[in-house]
Amino acid sequence: MLNFRRPLKGTDPMSQAAAVESNGERIGKPGDPCVMVIFGASGDLTRRKLIPALYNLGKHQLLSREFAVVGVARDAMSTEDFRKKVLQDLQQFTDAPVDADLREWLERRMYYLTGEFGDQRTFAQLKELLQKLDTDHATHGNYFYYLAIAPDFFGPVVEQLNAVGLMTEENHQWRRVIVEKPFGRDLDSARALNQQLLKVVKEQQVYRIDHYLGKETVQNIMAFRFANGIFEPIWNRRYIDHIQISVAETVGVEQRGGYYDQAGALRDMVPNHVMQLISLTAMEPPISFQADAVRDEQAKILHAIQPLSSEDVLSRTVRGQYGEGEAGGQHLAAYRSETGVPADSRCETYVAMKVQIDNWRWAGVPFYVRTGKRMPARNTHIVIQFRQAPFVLFRDTTVDALMPNQLVLHIQPEEGISLRFAAKTPGPVMRLGTVDMDFEYADYFGKQPSTGYERLLHDCMVGDATLFQRADMVEAGWSVVSPMLDVWKALPPRSFPNYAAGTWGPKEADALLGHDGRQWRNFEK
């Protein structure tokens, strides 16, 4: 189990040079001296994820001693009010008891600026404040900006930052910007946003974030494949029958009905989360773990995905919308009854599709992907199903069928890996039973408080863009789903709602695999 050395009482929590294990070995270097500027600091993402993530980084000694945070939002608030709010959020959204020394250390480094994102005065005041913090906290003129704001402001905010010189890198200072999703609504808007950003900043300054890549199991896909000699040799079309990727959610749209009805499950999940999981699962070994070496291989996979024709969209994709249903003895409302959703909404809350990758490794191996809301379990997983072993040896036994082996990468909520294989059951007759060998991170390494943003924020502080999307990757992901957007817009659904809340989706999704003699692997737990 990994144990992190806690700060000594009465000392600077950031006084140690690096995060260490209990045996004294380094496990990572602290981030560079810098200021984190959060645009949209009064929002839900900041209080639920970003502030707790910074606390967890501090707890593991992965923040520099020369560090500060500036919150920028429209809400009228003083720095003192912001600090009080941050402390309340820490108490509410941090999993473990809050360390008093670390809390006070963070509190002294929190600042707030009230301003409109379209007002030049906001950025002039921000520049003045950052210059002061460089002196007060020795942050060396290094800044990164987290855009936890509406997508319409992404481009204008970066342009305003650049106009006052806050994106200019000189004298060994760095300036970076983290852009939240959604990165565009379609291929054209994603290209336009990329062009808008890259007119004023360099690609290496832009960190397009996908919080799924902060999950331990997602990061472990590369380690699992490339550090274990028993798996990579069989990670190809000769041994693998097909791959399933499922991103299932139990929640509906909650209070986001107005936004979600304009986005839908396809835009919300597939070009970003799902495409990242496909690319990491399918990519060739990179020459190193340098950011562009990894992302080059991911981009190759995205470009190798077989384009969908209009006919393919009709035969290889499924869309669904949940109606009323039940789960856990509770009645669940239909999507069209949710707040902010039109009574005749055509928005999909479920997507399934069959993806083919046209390269040597994966030719003929289908990737089945699905994502949906109001499903029976919250579960994200990748199932690698291997080809069936020859049955000839068992033809004169009581065994009537062989189950294929399955390797499952569990991404959330429990992070781990399981392997399903056959074994003989005890007794004088040849009978086979299915065995699941399970590994969970929490059982083996211990459970560490995490929001999923810690690794990503730290990577930005040290300039490692491996887990962030590059412009060409974003556009490639949108290219895959563009035919679906076009066909679905031209041919409105006739059967919505077509699955009950609390079920695994429309029957057409089961038929998508059933036509190929396969079926989804569902995890109710």
Query: What is the DSSP secondary structure assignment for residue 401, as one 8-state letter?
Result: -
Q: Is 100 exposed, middle or buried (0-12, 13-18, 19+ CB in 10 A)?
A: exposed
Alpha-carbon distance of 423 to 116, in angstroms, equals 65
How many angstroms from the chain centroid is the CA of residue 135? 36
- Residue 147 DSSP SS3: strand
Q: Is 395 exposed, middle or buried (0-12, 13-18, 19+ CB in 10 A)?
A: exposed
Look-up: residue for tokens 């950052």? 130
Q: Name the pairing type of β-strands 406-412 and 416-424.
A: antiparallel
- Residue 217 DSSP SS3: helix
Angle (nearest 5°) at CA 478 between 475 and 479: 85
Alpha-carbon distance of 322 to 472, in angstroms, equals 34
DSSP for 347-397 reads --SEEEEEE-B-STTTTT--EEEEEESS-SS-EEEEEEEEPPPP-GGGTTS
Query: What is the DSSP secondary structure assignment for residue 211, as one 8-state letter?
Result: G
Distances (CA, A) of 524 to 332, 376, 413: 18, 7, 12
Contact predicate 136/96, CB 8 Å: no
Taking the CA atoms of 266, 267, 271 and 276 in sequence, report the sign of the dihedral they define.
negative
Query: What is the length of the chain?
Result: 525
* Spatial CA neighbour of 484 closest among 332, 325, 354: 354
> What are the catalytic residues?
273
